[in-house]
Amino acid sequence: MLNELYPGAREHVYLDVAAVGLVSTRVRDAVATVLDDHVARGIAAGADWTAASERTRGVIAELIGGRATNVAYTQNTSTGIALVANGLDWRHGDNVVVPADEFPSNFYPWLALRRHGVEIREVPMRAGRAELERLAELIDARTRVVAISAVQYTSGHRYDLARIRERCGDALLVVDGTQAAGALVIDADADGIDALVVSAHKWMLGPFGIGFVHFSDRAMERLNPSTTGWLSVEHPFDFDHEPRLASSARRFESGTFNAAGIAGLDAAISIVLELGRHTVENIVLGNAAHLQERLTARGLQVLRSTDPDECSGIVIFTTGDQAADAAIHAQLTESGIRCSLRKAGVRFSPHYYNTDDDLHEAVATIR
């Protein structure tokens, strides 16, 4: 089934999901169906898209262990994080605790709060991960948010979110799940995540420009909707003069939604749910572990934890010399092996559609 769904994975060895995931023909068809409908029926198709987008909230909830009522659609991680950053009533002297090396989408929105007198407390990094003892020390009674990614993009380190939750006290735990969701199992409610923010275009294997946030109930209570539009209300077609905001997380959305993107996201998640969330995680971690073994056997240094609970689908390796790493990356790219070059080394990020042959070929290609 996967072979047919992912023609792109047959054309080249695609090990670059941490940059952008391949989409399946099922995702393409779902997006095309919405557009075909738009071509044929215009506004008449609108009610169907609304109903479908409401159903997709349930599909998202199933994927990430949450509830459909608590899912809000966004454009990407940045806009999702902004819903929290711009939604709290900040007071001078409040603080946000965030690892120093978060991806900018989970960092710049917090820095922007300095204008309200909010202190940004950066958790120092060591060996590709935030030091969790320091994170706990930085949290105090004025900490309103602890923001961290589920998987550290610079190293592939997977954080223990439930353990971090225990240290957050009354602060909201905001998790950038973009390098994890779709590949690794996340249970938003069970792990006590107040805002799980995800973009579809990486491990979710969905389209560009669509994402979501899953809020906890207490986050929904604390946050003011910051992008209120005509679809943020309970009954949009009443066109009320004063908004009566939706009781669900739809109140954090704004106006006309990305119907094609949501259809594509739904199709992408449907494959994970058919395979099984845990099966997908096992395949991804298994592929990454195979790469690690083979790279190590070739004498390359792999920056990956020895603790399987700290591992993700990201495998970064280095020769110890940046120029040599760049040469390997160029050679892999020329040979049709898609991967990325980062400061720490060459980054492989396989997904469930990669075969053992792919992994073998990628490592064998390195000269």
Ligand X SMILES: Cc1ncc(COP(=O)(O)O)c(C=O)c1O
Nearer to ligand X, 147 or 363 (CB): 147
Collect all residues with Cβ–Cβ distance below 8 Å to 69 and sequence separation of at least 6: 57, 247, 248, 249
Sole binder of ligand X in the list 53, 56, 143, 179 (CB under 6 A): 179
Nearer to ligand X, 157 or 294 (CB): 157
Distance (Å, whole) CA 31 – CA 261: 7
Cβ atoms of 34 and 260 closer than 8 Å: yes
Instruction: Pick from 16, 176, 266, 281 the residue near ligand X by CB under 6 A.
Output: 176
Q: Count the site residues for ligand X by CB under 6 A.
A: 12
Among 24, 53, 56, 78, binds ligand X (CB under 6 A): 78
The residue (of 56 and 78) whose beta carbon lies closer to ligand X is 78
CB of 140 to ligand X, least distance (A): 26
Q: Does 354 contact ligand X by CB under 6 A?
A: no
Residue with tokens 């579809």: 200
Q: Amino acid identity of 7?
A: P
Task: Assess 77 for contact with ligand X (CB under 6 A).
Answer: yes
Among 53, 56, 70, 76, indicate the residue that binds ligand X (CB under 6 A).
76
Do residues 15 and 329 make contact, with C-beta atoms less than 8 angstroms apart? no
Taking residue 196's Cβ as centre, other Cβ atoms within 10 Å add up to 32
194-198: long-range contacts at Cβ-Cβ below 8 A with a sequence spacing of 24 or more? 194/218, 194/219, 195/80, 195/81, 195/83, 195/84, 195/219, 196/64, 196/66, 197/74, 197/77, 197/80, 197/81, 197/84, 197/106, 198/64, 198/77, 198/80
What residues between 99 and 128 interact with ligand X by CB under 6 A? 103, 105-106
Q: How far is the CB of 101 from ligand X (least distance, A)?
A: 10
Interface of this chain with ligand X, residues 196 to 255, rule: CB under 6 A:
199
* Interface of this chain with ligand X, residues 134 to 173, rule: CB under 6 A: 149, 153
| Rounded CA separation 116/72 (Å) | 26
Span interacting with ligand X, options 53-61, 75-83, 133-141, 237-245, rule CB under 6 A: 75-83
Interface residues with ligand X (CB under 6 A) are 76-78, 103, 105-106, 149, 153, 176, 178-179, 199
